[in-house]
Amino acid sequence: NAGVTQTPKFRVLKTGQSMTLLCAQDMNHEYMYWYRQDPGMGLRLIHYSVGEGTTAKGEVPDGYNVSRLKKQNFLLGLESAAPSQTSVYFCASSPTRLAGGGDEQFFGPGTRLTVL
């Protein structure tokens, strides 16, 4: 199993450009999450999904949109990138207790995004 994968690994954007980050998991997890990590601030939750076709806002959702059309994929979109969105983005997934899983979130390798 590949676990949680993220595409791309690195990206440089100019202010105002748009892009989509892809997260994929092959563990059949119901829950998926997008975090951003900035120096000295830990990880902050952007958006999350509790199942296919559902999404919800996290702590810092402004400037981002998400979609979960397939259970295994969770997309994070930036419609008009800003320098403040320069960060490392991590996707994570976790199972439900009904599925017999624990509470651990499994993280992807991250995407380093720079907005100039």
Partner 1 sequence: GENVEQHPSTLSVQEGDSAVIKCTYSDSASNYFPWYKQELGKRPQLIIDIRSNVGEKKDQRIAVTLNKTAKHFSLHITETQPEDSAVYFCAASILTGGGNKLTFGTGTQLKVEL
- Where does this chain bind partner 1 (CB under 8 A)? 31, 33, 40-45, 48-50, 56, 58-59, 90, 94, 96, 103-105, 107-110
Rounding to the nearest 10 degrees, give the CA dihedral for residues 75, 32, 4, 43. Answer: 90
Nearer to partner 1, 13 or 95 (CB): 95
Strand-pairing partners, residue 49, are 32
Pairing of strands 54-57, 43-51: antiparallel
Find the shortest distance in angstroms from Cβ 103 to partner 1. 6
* C-beta closer to partner 1: residue 10 or 69: 10
Residue type present at position 11: R
Please report how close the Cβ of residue 34 comes to partner 1 at its closest, in angstroms: 12
